[in-house]
Chains A and B, each alone.
Chain A
């Protein structure tokens, strides 16, 4: 039976100040660090503009239906993930618990990534930037050896920031500077989520809009940099042959899925604070499209800067060669320029080949520099920081870049924390008299203490583990159960009626088909393909080992068995709740039906209604 609409308004649930706040929160949650550092990388390695084809297909058949489903569910049932799924069906309560566990695990490591961003941000106020020069060694005769063999940027990231150990089993010690930054990050998260959406709603205005401003500034500046056009043509030139590789389609599907932050329970929590009669269909389409357009918009400045960096590297290579040639042949200054370098080389090679060979010139190839593609933390903390050094006024650009990354990550953290906070408030565990500030404080403090393990020397290896195992596979499973649960347990017909009641029109054929058949099928295929690909290669990681013979190349190592056990545990733990809760409820039902003295609860409610 549907509750009459008038009573819902008086249930005392906090609500958004206005619709714009809600939309910004959803967009901020969806638009995160992945839009900046994963999408451009995927575009680059999967054939440039051609990648957009599987990307948009995945968006239309997987992303938008699932997004609409979650937003509509949260809005209709007005509860966080655990309460909402228990209301859909008690057997599906495990789906909500699984979402909640994933949100907890992801919140832990996501804020540590923000810690790294904050560390770089507060270091950007120095002149010169600390990652631009190598420190001297002990007796001041030369540069630090580790720094000299790799680059100053690498050294600052691996040694000065992470102080990374050569192996995941070596824990190292707590890095006190990271602990301080972690405390500051969790303090900022606490400040913004202290009273739930009341405070995040105010903070989101800044954290969701500011990145777009900075991206625009970077766009304008990036396009003026030399070499930007090379970078952009490299990014967007479509290579349709790459579509034949199934890996491309899988990457597109997973990227859409993780980019929209589906199955975290955060979207359900955010939309549960909406007024009941709200057009969730338009909201879903808008959020999805804004997210994708942001990815595209962000890839332009990223690739302008990468093109600039590649061109600078290429020019440096050329210049070094030119200097050695000029020195060797005693030619006047400025006789060989970059433009006529090739003609000069041919001339000199034909006239004095042995001299040219003796110089051992390195071959400079712009394509080679452009091919050095990186994603994730490598893009932000190594490649981009190197590019920033080459720009004039590098401090300002570094500060802007890291504030932008911080805002992007922070708005995603709000969604994650809401996904954790809202179900906790609704469970009977916490009583109503405890103030919200205290609950959010306890949550933030607990998470801070748990996340301290990521500030150890081996912390970044553990974050990779969490990201690959806790933040990927369980989400696919949970999303699959979400879709099939709504489609076949709650029944799409009933769900369509609910949506009609909320938006005023029945969901059209597109929604019916995708909800019922296409999206669950697609999710199943993606899940199977994902697992097959993971199983095929042994789980390995790349370690930064200064004593490695091929240093500065990273050393490929295999995870030891106990680490693999933790990986499996992380992947299985959220998913195990789905069958566990269903089983638990089944037991409860059978016990209740077996007990003749117990009266079924429905009879009680009828009696109450009558009197």
Chain B
């Protein structure tokens, strides 16, 4: 926005407001604030006169203190900040940084670590389960092989026994020739 007489009026009003709030006497008027040496840069000098004491200006320190107290309101009235609206003798104080109770990085770190540890535990448990299953499977197959061997011997035994028990025809052609039988 352009700086014109209306903005100057607003500025005078803000300074008067600041003086009223600071000294809590409601005698400061807009007419008490005088602007001079207004340049195109939009820089100017201003003084505050005291209507009670005729013609004297309010000491600079008081004005400074008043403005310091209400700096925020003055800035917002003009939609500016400490950098763009500068009072040459009043340096802005640095606001202390906001520090949360737990540093933010600790929270993120906690999340990352928890996820990692959960993954590790899951993989280890999976590995253990897989190994148990493999052990069980391998022991199962071992048992199965033993059983087969046992049955085979039994099966080998039974036919012979049944052959002996049953009264079977003995083929005469082979009966005479004992050497033909293969030795067991």
Contact = CB atoms under 8 A, between A and B. Distances in A.
A216 interface: no
Contact of A194 (B112, B117, B120): B120
A194 B105 contact: no
Contacts of A188: 112, 116
Interface stretch (B123-131, B149-157, B161-169): B123-131
A122 interface: yes
Given A140-B94, A190-B120, A435-B127, A330 B109 contact: no
Most buried by B among A122, A181, A184, A332: A122
B113 A184 contact: yes
B55 interface: no
A97 to B, nearest CB: 30
A500 B158 CA distance: 59
B41 A437 contact: no
Nearest to B41: A330
Q: Which of B42, B96, B104, B131 has the most CB of A within 10 A?
A: B104
B40 interface: yes
Secondary structure type dominating chain A contacts: helix
Nearest to B43: A330
Given A125-B105, A125-B108, A327 B123 contact: no
A332 B40 contact: yes
B119 interface: yes
B96 A136 contact: yes
A191 B105 CA distance: 22
B61 interface: no
A183 B105 CA distance: 15
B94 A136 contact: yes
B105 A331 contact: no
Contacts of A184: 109, 112-113, 116
B41 A332 contact: yes
Nearest to B93: A140
A327 B42 CA distance: 10
A123 B107 CA distance: 10
A195 interface: yes
A361 B127 CA distance: 69
Contacts of A118: 112
A411 B52 CA distance: 79
A142 interface: yes
Interface string B29-49: 000000000011111000000
A180 interface: yes
B116 A187 contact: yes
A191 B119 contact: yes
B109 A122 contact: yes
B41 A123 contact: no
A121 B112 CA distance: 11
A181 B112 CA distance: 10
A181 to B, nearest CB: 7
A297 B101 CA distance: 43
B97 interface: yes
Contacts of B97: 133, 135-136
B177 to A, nearest CB: 39
Contact of B124 (A126, A194, A330): A194
A142 B123 contact: no
Interface string A105-139: 00000000000001101110110000001011000
B41 A327 contact: yes
A534 interface: no
A161 B137 CA distance: 53
A108 to B, nearest CB: 20
Interface string B81-121: 00000000000001011000000110111001100110110
A194 B112 CA distance: 18
Contacts of A368: none
Given A330-B39, A332-B40, A142 B94 contact: yes
Contacts of A373: none
B41 A122 contact: no
Nearest to A328: B41
B107 to A, nearest CB: 8
B94 A437 contact: no
Contact of B116 (A140, A142, A191, A332): A191
Nearest to B120: A191
A180 B109 contact: yes
Contacts of B104: 123, 125-126
A404 B152 CA distance: 65
A333 interface: yes
A391 interface: no
A441 to B, nearest CB: 8
Contacts of B124: 194, 437
Interface in A166-198: 177, 180-181, 183-184, 187-188, 190-191, 194-195
Given A184-B116, A191-B123, A195-B127, 14 more contacts: A121-B108, A122-B105, A122-B108, A125-B105, A126-B104, A136-B97, A143-B94, A184-B109, A188-B116, A191-B116, A191-B120, A194-B127, A330-B40, A330-B43
List 3 tightest A-B contacts by C-beta distance, closest first: A332-B40, A122-B108, A330-B39
Interface of A: 118-119, 121-123, 125-126, 133, 135-136, 140, 142-143, 177, 180-181, 183-184, 187-188, 190-191, 194-195, 199, 326-327, 330-333, 435-437
30 contacts: A119-B105, A121-B108, A122-B108, A123-B104, A123-B105, A125-B104, A125-B105, A125-B107, A125-B108, A126-B104, A126-B105, A133-B97, A135-B97, A136-B96, A140-B94, A143-B94, A180-B109, A181-B109, A184-B109, A184-B112, A187-B117, A190-B120, A191-B120, A191-B123, A194-B120, A195-B123, A327-B41, A330-B39, A332-B40, A437-B124
